[in-house]
Structure 1
Amino acid sequence: MLRIAVTGSPGVGKSTVVAKVAKKLAGQPGFKIGGIQTAEIREEGQREGFSILDLATGKTGTLSHIKGSGPRLGKYHVNPETLERIGAGALRNALSCDFIVIDEIGPMELISGSFVAAVEEVLESDKPVLAVLHHSSRHPLARKVRKEFEVLTVNVKNRDELPEKIYNCFASQPL
């Protein structure tokens, strides 16, 4: 069972790398991908927050935004209800899929005990996993992922070739 996590500086392209791998794997006939994907919410060229997407169902919601009332992390307010309903729910449902994506295991997501528990369920499964890991998190779950996964650091020099490299690793495994 192959498990890879990508890490790197904010904005370097970690989520883009994972999205490219997931898209290519999803193109295989009869292959089902589950889990979550995050994306920036931009307004007038400025990052205003992050959305979260359930890859299996297409459900989406606002994970965090600069305008909000949830717990504050940096300049963003995290939406715990969306994180639990879409994030944790998508990870639990992904246990019935062939491949699981977790974008991201970071401070915003780790606010939710339900999300942490869902990630732990994924880690206890025998499913192949591709995750984005916050570069400096010291949370016990992040430490566990660093210990159990092959961790690749995304940077400006390798971010264009990493999706193909990671795809080939998973494609060469019996999924």
Structure 2
Amino acid sequence: MRRIAVTGKPGVGKSTVVARAVEKLDLKACGIRTAEILVHGKRQGFSIEDISSGRKGILSHVRCTGPKHGKYHVNLTDLDGIGTKAIRNALDCDIVVIDEVGPMELRSEDFIRAVEDVLDSDRPVLAVLHRSSTHPLAQRIREEFEVIVVDENNRDDLPEGIVEMFE
């Protein structure tokens, strides 16, 4: 069972690397993906999507209510209602995708438990990992996964390399 986490500095393309790898994989991928919410070219927050159902919501936003992280407020309703649910349902798929295990997602105890359940399973996992989180779940992923650092020089070739690792 292969487990890979990609990490790197903000904005380097971690989520893009994972999304491109998932597109190329000949496996049924389930889980979550996140994306920036841009308004007039400025980041206002992040969306969250259930890969399997396509259901989307707001992970965090400058205008949400909920726990604060930097300038954003984490929307626990969508994080748990879409994200945590998608991760729990992903145990029936060929590969679990978790974009991302980071400070915003780690505000939810339900999210943490869902990811721990995945880690305790025999499912292959492809995850995005926040580069400097010291949370025990992030530390566990660093210890148990093959961790790949994404940078400007390798990000274009990484999706194909990740696909090869899962074949």
* Residue of 72, 77, 83 corresponding to 2:73: 77
Cα distance, 1:23 vs. partner?
1.1
Map 1:1-175; keep pairs closer than 5 Å.
1-25=1-25, 28=26, 31-171=27-167
TM superposition outliers: structure 1 runs of 4+ over 2 Å: none
Cα distance in 2 for partners of 1:147, 1:23 equals 27
- Cα offset for 1:69? 1.2
The root-mean-square deviation of aligned C-alpha atoms, in Å, is 0.6
Alignment: residue pair count = 167
Structure 1 spans left out of the alignment, 5+ residues = none
Aligned residue identity for 1:14: K
- Please list the CA deviations of residues 37-89 of structure 1 after superposition, one character each: whole Å capped at 9, or x if unmatched: 00000000001100000011111100000111111100001000111111110
TM normalised by structure 1 equals 0.94
Tell me how far apart the structure 2 counterparts of residues 159 and 32 of structure 1 sit (CA, whole Å): 23
